[in-house]
């Protein structure tokens, strides 16, 4: 009988603790001031944004939580604001039980710097997302020419995806020019030639053929032998010699 009574008392004590820990304690903490904002940024290899920039943006929009009462802070409102930043891919915002607000960001990684035909300048990532609010200068391959908004999700996305996943082309491509027919010409960093790419159809095959030609051809005859490499047909490199 004594053991059974002790069991009931223990269960009641645990239930009281759970009620306090998960219901009463958080409500009490909401009456306190926010002690700190902890920011964690991932996917930011190029350093496109830092903690100070986020803090300043929150302050400018009266969303900086530190010093405010916990129950007056809207994590959803902070998240919605952060997600208006084009370089942010994902965002989590939540309160902790020590009166702290935590902010976790995943950034988009710009791959191309774009100068489109309207005169606008922006960056594009490998998923075909436009990034407009990067303040620091980045040294990346440049895409220019007859580029419009419809090409971001196809032509620019295709090239950015290949470049991101291939360090060779990230280092070798300096500029990509698109004509009115959406055909691209690549200006490499090394060599006195251009690459007539054509459309982005079978892009991986085309660039793979060029890479093989670089290894088996130009490395033997010299990088200055040709002024033009035509790879409009995916499995065939047509060369034009320097005169």
Per residue in 76-88, pLDDT (tens digit) is 999 999 999 999 9
Q: Per the domain annotation, does 4 fall within a domain? A: no
Residues 150, 191 within the same domain: yes
Residues 197, 236 within the same domain: yes
Please check whether residue 65 is in contact with residue 73, taking contact to mean a CB–CB distance below 8 angstroms.
yes
Residues 194, 100 within the same domain: no
How far is Cα 198 from Cα 86, in angstroms, rounded to an integer? 30
Q: What is the mean pLDDT of residues 22-41?
A: 74
Helices (H), 146-202: 157-164, 167-172
Q: Per the domain annotation, does 6 fall within a domain? A: no
Domain hosting residue 237, numbered range: 110-241
Strands (E), the chain: 36-42, 88-95, 100-107, 110-115, 121-125, 130-131, 142-145, 173-178, 184-188, 194-198, 226-230, 238-241
Q: Per the domain annotation, does 103 fall within a domain? A: yes
Q: What CATH number is given to the structural domain containing 166?
A: 3.40.50.10960
Tell whether the model's pLDDT for residue 10 goes beyond 60: no
Helices (H), the chain: 2-19, 25-29, 51-60, 75-82, 157-164, 167-172, 203-213, 219-221
How far is Cα 124 from Cα 49, in angstroms, rounded to an integer? 16
Residues 143, 195 within the same domain: yes
35-61 pLDDT, tens digit per residue, is 999 999 999 999 999 999 999 999 999
Residues 175, 204 within the same domain: yes
Please say which residue of 72, 107, 142 terminates a domain: 107
Q: Per the domain annotation, does 22 fall within a domain? A: no
C-alpha dist (Å) from residue 103 to 51, 121, 200 = 10, 29, 39
Phi and psi dihedrals of 230, rounded to 5? -105, 120
Give the pLDDT confidence score for residue 141 in this predicted structure. Answer: 97
Residues 127, 148 within the same domain: yes
| Band of residue 75 on the pLDDT scale cut at 50, 70, 90 | very high
Give the pLDDT confidence score for residue 218 in this predicted structure. Answer: 78
Please check whether residue 188 is in contact with residue 228, taking contact to mean a CB–CB distance below 8 angstroms.
no
Q: Per the domain annotation, does 222 fall within a domain? A: yes
Give the pLDDT confidence score for residue 88 in this predicted structure. Answer: 96
Q: What is the mean pLDDT of residues 168-179?
A: 95
Q: Per the domain annotation, does 226 fall within a domain? A: yes
Residues 187, 236 within the same domain: yes
How far is Cα 97 from Cα 48, in angstroms, rounded to an integer? 31
Q: What CATH number is given to the structural domain containing 45?
A: 3.10.20.310
Please check whether residue 112 is in contact with residue 142, taking contact to mean a CB–CB distance below 8 angstroms.
yes
pTM value is 0.81
């Amino acid at each position: 009988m004594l053991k059974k009574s002790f069991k009931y008392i223990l269960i009641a004590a645990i239930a009281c603790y759970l009620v306090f820990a998960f219901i009463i304690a958080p409500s009490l903490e909401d009456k306190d001031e926010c002690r700190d904002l902890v920011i964690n940024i991932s996917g930011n290899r190029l350093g496109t944004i830092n903690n100070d920039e986020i803090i300043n943006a929150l302050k400018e929009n009266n969303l900086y939580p530190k010093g405010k009462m916990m129950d007056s802070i809207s994590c959803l409102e902070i998240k919605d604001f952060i997600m208006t930043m084009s370089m942010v891919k994902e965002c989590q915002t939540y309160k902790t039980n020590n009166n702290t607000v935590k902010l976790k960001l995943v950034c988009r990684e710009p791959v191309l710097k774009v100068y489109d035909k309207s005169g606008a300048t922006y960056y594009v990532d490998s998923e075909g997302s436009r990034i407009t609010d990067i303040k620091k200068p980045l040294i990346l391959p440049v895409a220019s020419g007859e580029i419009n908004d419809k090409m971001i999700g196809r032509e620019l996305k295709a090239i950015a995806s290949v470049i991101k996943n291939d360090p060779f082309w990230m280092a070798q491509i300096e500029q990509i020019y698109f004509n009115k027919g959406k055909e691209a010409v690549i200006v490499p960093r090394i060599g006195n030639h251009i690459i007539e790419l054509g459309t982005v159809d079978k892009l991986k095959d085309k660039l793979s053929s060029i890479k093989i030609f670089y290894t088996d051809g130009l490395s033997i005859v010299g990088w200055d032998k040709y002024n033009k490499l035509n790879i409009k047909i995916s499995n065939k490199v047509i060369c034009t010699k320097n005169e």
